[in-house]
Amino acid sequence: MPGRKTTSTFTRNEQCIINCNLTYAVHILSGRWKLLILDKLKQRQMRFSELKKEFSYISERMLTLQLQAMEEDGLLKRTVYPEVPPRVEYELTEMAIELTPILDHLSQWAEKNRKK
Amino acid sequence: MPGRKTTSTFTRNEQCIINCNLTYAVHILSGRWKLLILDKLKQRQMRFSELKKEFSYISERMLTLQLQAMEEDGLLKRTVYPEVPPRVEYELTEMAIELTPILDHLSQWAEKNRKK
DNA sequence: TGTGCTACTATAAAATTTGTAAGTAATGCC
DNA sequence: GGCATTACTTACAAATTTTATAGTAGCACA
């Protein structure tokens, strides 16, 4: 009897999350590999192939998707060098650098409290 | 997590995440409604029906799932009163209370840096 | 007898995320 | 021409998360 919904509750509800600063923050960090990438780039900027080698268990597609999302959200700066073969460097933005001490606290919290 | 193929890449990769304290922390906070629930319970303990009323846009099932996961991860304490109709109260654990200042920082970070 | 209440369960469908495999452009080198 | 390289892209499939809908127990109350 009921027809197909023309609007997705999933998408509508996403707005609730994006409107709140806290849920927004966790939202843009929630991709499966984003924090590991962030942590790696804390040390130095790296090119795509270096990250790929570092995280050999992450599929190339996923690496691309996560990097794109992070760039879109202002966490990473992407620099393309017009060479052949291409070279692309990724580095943290100021915004991401400001985030790192908070993530350190989170990490400490988890270490102290998580169930073994 | 019943009926999960433990040999899948998805599951194998999940171990990488759970092994790291930081990714673990974000992992247990990543459910769609967990942070909103956490934020609400910061004020006072609440019963299921109160949360349900507060978050009218969250399906009852989702509310249950998120609460169960948070209890499982040690973020919430669940108290059942043997009455009819049943009464169940949810409140933050010490672990969750320790988390709140970190989440405040995260929220401030997002407010300052997010793209408008 | 029947209805209402609360805090869930059960089942299925919708939507998204993640993974696999293959292909692309542009150039240099043989 | 054929091959190699890099940073992707595309098509497809698998797995998970989220939403929708209905149903349950146990007792009070009419």
A47 strand D contact, CB < 7 Å: yes
Alpha helices in A42-114 (DSSP H): 48-54, 60-72, 94-113
Phi and psi angles of residue A92, each rounded to the nearest 5 degrees, phi first: -70, 145
Q: From CA A71, how far away is CA B28, in angstroms rounded?
A: 24
Q: What is the mean pLDDT of chain A?
A: 91
Query: Which residues are CB-contacts of A49 (< 8 A; sequence separation ≥ 6)?
Result: none
Strand D contact residues in chain B (77-96), C-beta within 7 Å? 84-86
A2 has pLDDT over 60: no
* Yes or no, beta carbons of B110 and A22 under 8 Å apart: yes
In the sheet where A46-47 sits, what is the strand order?
Answer: A46-47, A87-92, A76-81
Unique residue bearing structure tokens 């989702």: B62
Residue A100 touches chain B, beta carbons under 8 Å: no
Q: Which residue type occupies A84?
A: V
Query: Distance between alpha carbon B7 and the CA centroid of its chain, in Å?
Result: 27
| Of the listed ranges A1-5, A42-46, B58-62, B112-116, the one predicted with least confidence | A1-5
Nucleotide nearest to B85 (CA to C1'): C6
Residues composing chain B:
116
Q: Which residue type occupies B1?
A: M
Unique residue bearing structure tokens 């790291």: B20
Q: Which of B23, B57, B108 sits opposite A36 (nearest CB)?
A: B23
Give residue A6's pLDDT: 41
Residue B57 touches chain A, beta carbons under 8 Å: yes
* Contact in structure between A62 and A33 (CB atoms under 8 Å): yes
Which of A85, A87, A86, A88 has its CA nearest to residue A77? A88
Q: A74 contacts in B (CB within 8 Å)? A: 113-115
Q: What is the mean pLDDT of chain B?
A: 91
Helices and strands (H and E) in chain B: how many: 6, 3
Residue B24 touches chain A, beta carbons under 8 Å: yes
Q: Mind listing the pLDDT tens digit for each residue in B31-82?
A: 999 999 999 999 999 999 999 999 999 999 999 999 999 999 999 999 999 9
* Yes or no, beta carbons of A22 and B109 under 8 Å apart: no
* Yes or no, beta carbons of B30 and A26 under 8 Å apart: yes
Helices and strands (H and E) in chain A: how many: 6, 3
Q: B103 contacts in A (CB within 8 Å)? A: 22
Q: From CA B8, how far away is CA B102, in angstroms rounded?
A: 34
Q: From CA A112, how far away is CA B69, in angstroms rounded?
A: 19
Could you tell me which residues are beta bridge partners of residue A81? A87
Query: Distance between alpha carbon A32 and the CA centroid of its chain, in Å?
Result: 8
* Yes or no, beta carbons of B16 and A57 under 8 Å apart: yes
Give residue B1's pLDDT: 32
Q: From CA A33, how far away is CA A35, in angstroms rounded?
A: 6
Chain A: nearest CA to B60, how far in angstroms?
Answer: 14
Residue nearest to nucleotide C9 (CA to C1'): B61
SS3 (DSSP) at A46: strand
